[in-house]
Structures are given as structure tokens and as C-alpha cells.
Amino acid sequence: MQVFWRIVLLFLCVIFCIAYPIAVIGVAFDVNPPFSMTWAGSALLFLEGGMLILAAIVLYGPLRALLMGGLVVLLSYGVEALGVLTGWPFGIYHYTHQLVPLLPGGVPLPVMFAWILVIFGGYSWVVTTQQQRQGSGRRGWQRALQAALLAMLLDLAIEPVATYVVHYWVWADAGRYSYYGVPLTNFIAWFVVALLFLVLADRLLGSLPVAAVQDEDPIFSRKMGSERLALFVSRVIFVGSLIMFGLVNLTHGFFGAAGMAALAGVLLLWYLFNQQSSEIVTKKLHE
């Protein structure tokens, strides 16, 4: 079965490698094709979310991955619908018709796949093997806090682009304190909601299989293990989002938001360094 998931994941990687640069160039430099591309943003979110769920199936098994994916979709829909209808907890906003299909409550379905990207992608950067967990001494809530910080920084990069460039949603009230016209309560709520999701992910998904970090074969080689491929893809999709929104912010003059994407990149490098240090310590303890 792992061979099947690997083939499907590789096929989606090929599609992603074609679609991603087209999307980045198109949005960053305002390249408009002679035909309608209103569906492209939704399609990319479906693709990225689907790839992350598929990667999670390889890493954690179908039951845990699909259960967590289903909970993220259902719970994020509930929170988003509550936000659109009441203005709580994010602030007063509404979605446009740029993302389709639009579900009851005024929430586009692709938004739930964006939440999958944030949660599954962010978690892939903080999750460790069981041995690494024992070696580092970090608890689940610490991993969740680290990934929630990444989620908030990503949202700080997303908001100017989604609001003013691609017009996915509209903020009706910036509130007393705002960031590019977005109420600061939105980012606090994002952090809290993401933190709750990530605590749940740490409980349901658990630790990485050892093969995901010990496989030393070249990336995308035939010998490369499915688990390592899945972890690599999960992390690349998250980084790809940071790069996309960072670049679009730069080309459209939102330099503070571009800085948030860069800060998230620095944190990712720090997380990666800590994980590698933990792996070295763990190996020495088991020698």
C-alpha cells in the first residue's frame, strides 16, 4: 500500500511543481492570462491540502491522518462560519467569490484546505520521532506552541496579499489596533485556534516513524523511503507558502509582511538545527 501512496504523492508533486511557479509569478508580478483564472487559487489550495493529507497517511497511517484531516475541516469550518456571521473571534469580515465553492455560512471550501496546510505543514516542522522526544525532553504543548507561532507568522504574511492583491476576503472594521487594515484580534485568534488544533494533532498523529529522518538516500531517488519523501513534501509545501506570500508582499510594497515571512523562515532554520542536534544526542545515548 505504501508503494501506491508513494506513486500518487509523486504524481501530485509533479503537478505542484508546474502549478506553483505559475501561481507565484502570476500573483507576484500581476501577470494576467487572456483567459479566466479565478479557479486557480482554489485549485492550488485543494492540491496543497490534498498532498499534505496524503503525506500524513504515509507518515502516521490512514486512520489517524484522515481523522485529523476531517477534524481540521469540520472544526475550521465551524470557526470560520462563526467568524463570518458574528465577527468573533477574528473580527468583522466576509469572503468574496474568488474562492469556490462557497458553503453555507459564507465560507469557501478551499479555506478549510488552507487550514490543513497551516496545521499539517506547521506540525511537520516540529514533529519528532519517539526517540528524539525522549532525548529533547520537549512536551506536546511546547511543540504545539512552536508550530502555532509559525501559523501566526504565516497569517501575518498572508493577510495583505489575500485582502488587497487577490481579494479573497474583505475586512469591514480594522478595529482600534490594526496591521495593514486587519484587526490585531485576528492574529491573536489565529494563534489560539492554531494552537488548539496543533495540540490535537500532537495527540492524534503522534511521533514520526524513524525512517522519516534516518533515510539518507537522495531526495526523489528510487531508493528514497516513502516516509522521508512524505516529510520532505510536507515541509516544502509550508515553506513554499512562506516564499510565495513573502515575494508577493515584496513586489506590492508590503515590506513588514514580507519581514514576517522571513522571520518564519529563520524560525524554521532554528527548529531544524534543534532537531538535528537532538538526533545527534539521541544516537549517542543509544550507542
The pLDDT of residue 134 is 54
Among 108-117, 128-137, 253-262, 272-281, the range scoring the smallest mean pLDDT is: 128-137
For residue 223, what pLDDT is reported? Answer: 66
Residue ranges of domains in the chain:
2-28+38-285
Picking from 110, 114, 159, the residue whose alpha carbon sits closest to that of residue 260 is: 159
Radius of gyration of the chain from its Cα atoms, rounded to whole angstroms: 19
| Spatial CB neighbours of 236, under 8 Å, sequence gap ≥ 6 | none
172: which residues sit within 8 A by CB, 6+ positions away?
92, 93, 94
- Sequence-distant (≥ 6) Cβ neighbours of residue 71 within 8 angstroms: 200, 204
pLDDT value for 33: 80
Average pLDDT, the chain: 91
Check pLDDT > 80 for residue 131.
no
Q: Is 93 helix (H, G, I), strand (E, B) or coil?
A: strand
DSSP character at residue 165: I
Cα gap 250→149, rounded to integer Å:
22
pLDDT of residue 280: 56
pLDDT at 276: 73
pTM (two decimals): 0.93
Other CB atoms within 10 A of residue 70 CB: 11
Q: What is the pLDDT of residue 38?
A: 81
Average pLDDT over residues 90-98: 97
Q: Residue 210: its pLDDT value, please?
A: 82
Q: Does the pLDDT value for residue 31 go beyond 60? A: yes
> Residue 139 pLDDT > 90, yes or no?
no
- Mean pLDDT in residue range 17-28: 96
Least confident of 5-14, 82-91, 258-267, 278-287: 278-287
Tens digit of each residue's pLDDT (9 = 90 or more) over 155-202? 999 999 999 999 999 999 998 899 999 999 999 999 999 999 999 999
Mean pLDDT across the stretch 28-57? 92
What percentage of the chain exceeds 90 in pLDDT? Answer: 76
Predicted pLDDT at 273? 86
At residue 138, the pLDDT reads: 58
Residues 97-107 have a mean pLDDT of: 97
Q: What is the pLDDT of residues 203-245, one digit of tens each?
A: 999 888 888 877 666 666 666 789 999 999 999 999 999 999 9
